[in-house]
């Protein structure tokens, strides 16, 4: 192990998801409930006490007391990344919370998209908590995995949960049956279009991983599944809805509490380990600061380049983004004039690329799936028809 290397432990993932207490921890004080509970696993026989340990992502409402069975452990504590949470204790209902936190305008937008989703599709909401069949859970987790990959491929990124997906696939059903986890699913005609896995401890609801079919992006499924989970929290007496780390606009919109995760650099008392732990702490604080302020550093680099008369030709802002294909209104269209008009089924893989344009059209027209028909004129030209209003729309691919 290198001079400044540490043994790392993500407290949030290990504690809430795996139910794993690091043996270095002797006791945890829960400020939310004003109570302490001991670690049932305090056996340090297999723990290398010559190493320095980094226990990170500890929510501030948990205070750690370290195991003293093999001699005194000491620690340096510092704040880490921001966390985002909905404290529901001061709200009587979901409607009350949304009115206070989102405000009239944003609340109206979210509820409007919810109504539009339910108008356009045959929507069903289901929460798996306490009971789920193994084969159903396996099928949902496979669909969930595919959703995450599809969404993050679109963003040119990889979701960190995929690195430990085997754990989620193998353990979720058992965790649901023991009331330690729940799955939220939004279905359209019995097909999952949004899935979220969440972990539960006392009155804390940990919103862990969520994703949705990107073809439905227009309907704001991300906000709708947050709304439905918050509704469940109110119905089931959960006071804290924790959306964890990751600073995104939708979290700031929903959350009334922004906190900082704590990190502990833990070591067995000695001069050499003290010095190593001190340097590790300062190094990690510097790294955290750099990550949190990366936009400022980018701005400084950009300003410096401009002052030197240089331009950044590779900037994303200078790259023209491709426009999404969309249907446009078509006047005076006569089906009888097109003998080669071929009906297409967007449910099949061959015409899957038409789903998002069709769903976007449904959103704008507030039209039901059964009222929409789609036809192919040629490989680059497609026509959609609202059979209820008899209106036509054309899609021309480049």
Same domain for 223 and 117, yes or no, is yes
**What pLDDT does 294 receive?**
65
**Domain enclosing residue 20, as ranges:** 7-82+260-297
Q: Which residues pair with 375 in a beta bridge?
A: 343, 383
Window from 54-63, 196-205, 286-295, 306-315 with minimum mean pLDDT: 306-315
Residue range 33-82, pLDDT digits in tens: 889 989 888 888 888 888 999 999 999 999 999 998 888 899 999 988 89
Contact 87, 240 (CB under 8 A): yes
Q: Is the pLDDT of residue 5 over 80?
A: no
Q: Do 102 and 198 share a domain, yes or no?
A: yes
Say if 244 falls within a structural domain.
no
- Is residue 247 situated within a structural domain? no
Residues 160, 293 within the same domain: no
Residue with the two structure tokens 């909905």: 86
Q: What is the pLDDT of residue 322?
A: 54
Pull the structure tokens for residue 364: 């704008």
| pLDDT value of position 302 | 57
Task: Return d(Cα 204, Cα 209) in angstroms, integer.
Answer: 15
Lowest mean pLDDT across 41-50, 233-242, 302-311: 302-311
Per the structure, the count of domains in the chain is 3
Q: What are the tens digits of pLDDT across the range 181-213?
A: 999 999 999 999 999 999 999 999 999 999 999
Of 5-14, 207-216, 275-284, 312-321, least confident by mean pLDDT is 312-321
Greatest mean pLDDT among 170-179, 292-301, 389-398 = 170-179
Which residues, 6 or more positions from 199, have their beta carbon under 8 angstroms from its beta carbon? 16, 17, 175, 180, 181, 206, 208
**Mean pLDDT of all residues in 350-367:** 95
Same domain, 203 and 293: no
* pLDDT value at residue 278: 92
Q: Which residues contact 343 (CB under 8 A, 6 or more apart)?
A: 373, 374, 375, 376
């Amino acid at each position: 192990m290198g001079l400044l290397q540490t043994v790392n432990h993500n407290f949030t993932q290990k504690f809430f998801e795996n139910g794993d207490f690091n043996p270095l921890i002797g006791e945890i004080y829960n400020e939310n409930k004003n109570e302490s509970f001991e670690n049932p696993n305090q056996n340090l026989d297999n723990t290398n006490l010559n190493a320095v340990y980094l226990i990170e992502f500890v929510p501030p409402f948990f205070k750690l007391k370290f195991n003293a069975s093999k001699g005194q452990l000491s620690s340096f504590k510092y704040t880490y990344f921001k966390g985002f949470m909905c404290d529901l204790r001061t709200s009587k209902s979901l409607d009350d919370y949304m009115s206070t936190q989102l405000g009239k305008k944003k609340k109206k937008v979210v509820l409007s998209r919810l109504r539009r989703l339910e108008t356009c599709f045959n929507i069903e909401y289901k929460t798996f908590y306490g009971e789920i069949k193994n084969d159903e859970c396996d099928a949902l987790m496979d669909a969930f995995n595919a959703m995450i990959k599809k969404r993050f491929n679109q963003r040119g990124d990889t979701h960190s949960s995929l690195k430990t997906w085997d754990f989620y696939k193998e353990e979720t059903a058992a965790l649901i049956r023991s009331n330690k986890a729940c799955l939220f699913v939004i279905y359209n005609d019995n097909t999952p279009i949004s899935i979220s896995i969440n972990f539960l401890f006392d009155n804390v609801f940990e919103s862990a991983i969520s994703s949705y079919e990107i073809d439905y992006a227009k309907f704001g499924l991300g906000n709708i599944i947050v709304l439905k989970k918050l509704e469940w929290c109110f119905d089931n007496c959960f006071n804290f809805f924790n959306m964890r780390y990751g600073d995104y606009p939708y979290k700031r919109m929903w959350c009334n509490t922004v906190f900082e995760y704590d990190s502990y650099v833990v070591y067995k008392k000695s001069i050499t380990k003290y010095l190593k732990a001190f340097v590790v702490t300062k190094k990690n604080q510097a790294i955290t600061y750099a990550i949190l302020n990366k936009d400022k550093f980018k701005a400084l680099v950009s300003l410096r380049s401009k002052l030197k008369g240089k331009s950044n030709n590779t900037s994303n802002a200078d790259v023209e983004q491709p426009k999404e294909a969309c249907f446009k209104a078509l006047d005076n269209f006569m089906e009888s004039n097109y003998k080669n008009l071929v009906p297409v089924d967007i449910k099949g893989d061959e015409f899957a690329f038409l789903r998002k344009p069709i769903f976007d059209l449904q959103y704008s027209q507030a039209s039901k799936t059964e009222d929409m028909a789609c036809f192919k004129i040629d490989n680059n030209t497609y026509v959609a028809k609202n059979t209820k209003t008899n209106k036509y729309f054309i899609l021309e691919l480049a």
